[in-house]
Amino acid sequence: DAGITQSPRYKITETGRQVTLMCHQTWSHSYMFWYRQDLGHGLRLIYYSAAADITDKGEVPDGYVVSRSKTENFPLTLESATRSQTSVYFCASSDLGTASKAPYGYTFGSGTRLTVV
C-alpha cells in the first residue's frame, strides 16, 4: 500500500537497551523526518534527511542515531534507551516541490509509542 508506515506501533523496552524504530515511505519523497511528541513540549525534531545518505540533526538529537541508505527508509535508533526517551515518535515525509508548485506539507506515519522502563 502506498503511504508512510512506522513499526512497531507500540514498544516497551528496558533502560540501556538499543531500540530501532522503522519508517518506510512509498512515494520516493526526498525529505524524511523524525519527531517526538511529549505533553508540554509538542512536536520536537530529532533528525531529518534531505535525501539518501544526507542526514542532519534537529532540535533534540542526543541519544539517537539515524541512517538513510535508501530513499524509502529512515530508521531511528536509540543507542541506549533512557526513561526520558519515553514518548510518541512520528516519522514524516515531504517532497521538495518546485518553484511553480505550492509548498508541500508533511505526511506523518501513525507513530510509535515507546515506553522505557
Partner 1 sequence: RKEVEQDPGPFNVPEGATVAFNCTYSNSASQSFFWYRQDCRKEPKLLMSVYSSGNEDGRFTAQLNRASQYISLLIRDSKLSDSATYLCAVTYTNAGKSTFGDGTTLTVKP
- Minimum CB distance to partner 1 smaller for 55 or for 85: 55
**43 touches partner 1 (CB under 8 A):** yes
Would you count residue 71 as binding partner 1 (CB under 8 A)? Answer: no
**How, if at all, do strands 87-94 and 4-7 pair?**
unpaired
Q: Write the single-letter amino acid at 66.
A: V
Distance in angstroms (rounded) separating the CA atoms of residues 18 and 41: 24
Q: Which of residues 12-41 bind partner 1 (CB under 8 A)?
A: 30-31, 33, 35, 40-41
DSSP 93-112: EE----TTSPPP--EE---E
Could you list the residues that contact partner 1 (CB under 8 A)? 30-31, 33, 35, 40-43, 45, 48, 50, 58, 88, 90, 94-97, 102-111
